[in-house]
Amino acid sequence: MLEVEALSCPYCGEQIELLVDASGGDQRYIEDCSVCCRPIEVALWVDAQGYQVQVKREDE
Ligand SMILES: [Zn+2]
State residue 37's pLDDT score: 97
How far does the centroid of ligand 1 lie from the alpha carbon of residue 60, in Å? 15
How far does the centroid of ligand 1 lie from the alpha carbon of residue 30, in Å? 13
Question: What is the tally of structural domains in the chain?
Answer: 1
Q: CA 4, CA 59: separation in Å to the nearest integer?
A: 25
State residue 24's pLDDT score: 86
Q: What's the pTM?
A: 0.86
How far does the centroid of ligand 1 lie from the alpha carbon of residue 48, in Å? 30
Give every CB contact of residue 49 below 8 A, 6+ residues apart in sequence.
none
Q: CA 39, CA 17: separation in Å to the nearest integer?
A: 14
Instruction: State which residues form the domain around 48.
Output: 2-57
Q: CA 60, CA 52: separation in Å to the nearest integer?
A: 20
Helix, strand, coil % (nearest 5) of the chain?
Answer: 5, 60, 35
Dump pLDDT digits (tens) for 16-56: 999 999 888 999 999 999 999 999 999 999 999 889 999 99
